[in-house]
Amino acid sequence: MQIDSARAYLLRMPLQVPWKTSFGAQPDIDTVLVRLRSGGTTAWGEAAPGTWPLFCGEWGGATYRLVRDRLLPRLAGSRIDEIGELTAPLTEIRENTFAKAAVETAWWALRGAVEQRPLTAYTGGTRTTVPVGADFDLHDDTDALLAKIAGVIGSGCPRIKLKMGRGTRIEQLREIRRAFPDATLHVDCNATFTGDDLGRLEQLDPLGLAMIEQPLAKDDFLGHAALQRRVATPVCLDESITSRHHLELALELGSCRFVNVKPGRVGGLAPAVAIGELAARAGIGAVVGNMLESPVGAHLCLALAACTWATYPADLFRSERFFPTPLTARDLVSPPGGEWEFTVPTTPGNPAIPSDDVLSQWLVADSGEVTS
């Protein structure tokens, strides 16, 4: 497959309301889009590391510059027929998984468009619909949070994720469990706690949570193993797992019984599939997460959530959930009567194409067309 040209865009996507996590309140999301062209066919990939290096060491500005200055020149004008031909030259670049994912996902989307095959033909996804859950950021007002949870549970939501920070009161979580004794709940800590907090995290065990997601620092595999020995609730690793090797390490140490799979965090679709398949062989759960991407990235995640190794309702959402304006005309689509599931597209490649008008409104930087 000949790559005739490549182009990268850095966008700052405004959120309808700031999203509050243990990292702080985010008013917007920086994302990197990559467009590849082969003949008359174009396709898009995306990776959204965020505006500052909070979730991980990468951030939008740095990711964009690496893609623009180092990765696109290697792509443009090249013939790349197999994924190994794309990823082999990237191995000399350490870490920077979001930059690699922006390029890798665009290549898969282009291959699908050229070969007239959906993304699931390459991820191995066989589901025709994918169940999804609801996520809630940090709330000081427990009554308001209870009302929101009641609303989504009443509409059939299969599971609830609650952000948890150092300021989160265990009693607030107990109130939620008392109000919804049969609901599937889990907490996402975004690495906010330390080894000194294991006793506090043990207090979550009686709540019957589906998992405790990323309670400790990303490199604290031993601490997570110690916690997992002390609690019956499965520990889920997110930020910690940036490669298949990291999951192998976590399994060897007993650091988790769940893994969150995000294509941006691990370097693209192929590494994400490798991690998901390893989780299945090891008998641990897996959930496909998101980085608040546009529908371009959401469709990439959907192709992963269609895989049978994804055992827990995904963290996927329609654009209107977070963004005041849709970047693409094509968004995730629910089947009739299926509010809490999304239909897996059978259209070739990535069906989400950015609108020129919105792209220009949110544009921070544009590499221009790179042809060699």
pLDDT of amino acid 27: 84
- For residue 74, CA distances in Å to 91, 110, 344 come to 13, 16, 32
Please, what is the angle between helix 221-230 and helix 244-253, to 10°? 40
Average pLDDT, stretch 149-169? 94
Q: How far apart are CA 279 and CA 247, in angstroms?
A: 8
CA 167 from chain centre, in angstroms, equals 25
- Note whether 350 and 119 are within 8 A (CB): yes
The pTM (predicted TM-score) of the whole model is 0.95
Confidence bin at 140 (pLDDT 50/70/90):
confident
Structure confidence by residue, pLDDT tens digits, 172-221 = 999 999 999 999 999 999 999 999 999 999 999 999 999 999 999 999 99
Q: For tokens 């590499």, what's the residue?
A: 367
Percent over 70 (pLDDT), the chain:
98
Phi, psi values for residue 249, rounded to 5°: -65, -45
Q: Domains for the chain: give ranges and CATH numbers.
A: 5-117+352-366 (3.30.390.10), 121-343 (3.20.20.120)
Q: Decide: helix, strand or coil at residue 43.
A: strand
pLDDT of amino acid 24: 65
Of 116, 44, 25, nearest to 354 (Cα)? 44
Residue type, 223: G
Residue 91 has pLDDT above 90, yes or no: no
Structure confidence by residue, pLDDT tens digits, 98-132 = 999 999 999 999 999 999 999 999 999 999 999 99
Percent over 90 (pLDDT), the chain:
88
Q: Using the Cα atoms of residue 221, residue 225, residue 231 and residue 233 in order, give the sign of their dihedral.
A: positive
Q: How far apart are CA 161 and CA 236, in angstroms?
A: 12
Average pLDDT, stretch 139-153? 93
Q: Which H/E stretch holds residue 33?
A: strand 24-38
pLDDT of amino acid 93: 87
Structure tokens at 361: 């409104």
Structure confidence by residue, pLDDT tens digits, 66-75 = 999 999 998 9
Query: What's 314's DSSP letter?
Result: B
Q: How far apart are CA 43 and CA 113, in angstroms?
A: 7
Structure tokens at 132: 């999804």
Report, as residue numbers or ranges, the catalytic residues.
163, 262
232 CB neighbour count, 10 Å cutoff: 12
pLDDT of amino acid 5: 97
Query: What's 47's DSSP letter?
Result: E
Residue 57 has pLDDT above 80, yes or no: no
pLDDT of amino acid 216: 97
pLDDT of amino acid 23: 62
Q: How far apart are CA 30 and CA 48, in angstroms?
A: 6
Q: How far apart are CA 265 and CA 280, in angstroms?
A: 19
Q: For tokens 């599971």, what's the residue?
A: 159
Structure tokens at 359: 């792209």
pLDDT of amino acid 92: 80
Average pLDDT, stretch 221-240? 98
- Note whether 39 and 46 are within 8 A (CB): no
181 CB neighbour count, 10 Å cutoff: 7
pLDDT of amino acid 22: 60
Q: How far apart are CA 114 and CA 353, in angstroms?
A: 15
Q: How far apart are CA 338 and CA 99, in angstroms?
A: 34
Lowest-pLDDT range of 89-93, 144-148, 257-261, 305-309:
89-93
Q: Give start and end residues of each alpha helix (H) in the chain.
A: 60-66, 72-75, 83-87, 97-115, 120-123, 142-154, 170-179, 198-202, 221-230, 244-253, 263-266, 269-282, 295-305, 356-362
- Note whether 105 and 46 are within 8 A (CB): yes
Over its C-alpha atoms, the chain yields an Rg (Å, rounded) of 20
Residue 345 has pLDDT above 90, yes or no: yes
- Note whether 130 and 12 are within 8 A (CB): no
Confidence bin at 337 (pLDDT 50/70/90):
confident
pLDDT of amino acid 224: 98
Q: How far apart are CA 1 and CA 154, in angstroms?
A: 49
pLDDT of amino acid 285: 98
Residue 348 has pLDDT above 80, yes or no: yes
Q: For tokens 């994918």, what's the residue?
A: 130
- Note whether 2 and 371 are within 8 A (CB): no
pLDDT of amino acid 1: 93
Average pLDDT, stretch 131-152? 93
pLDDT of amino acid 163: 94
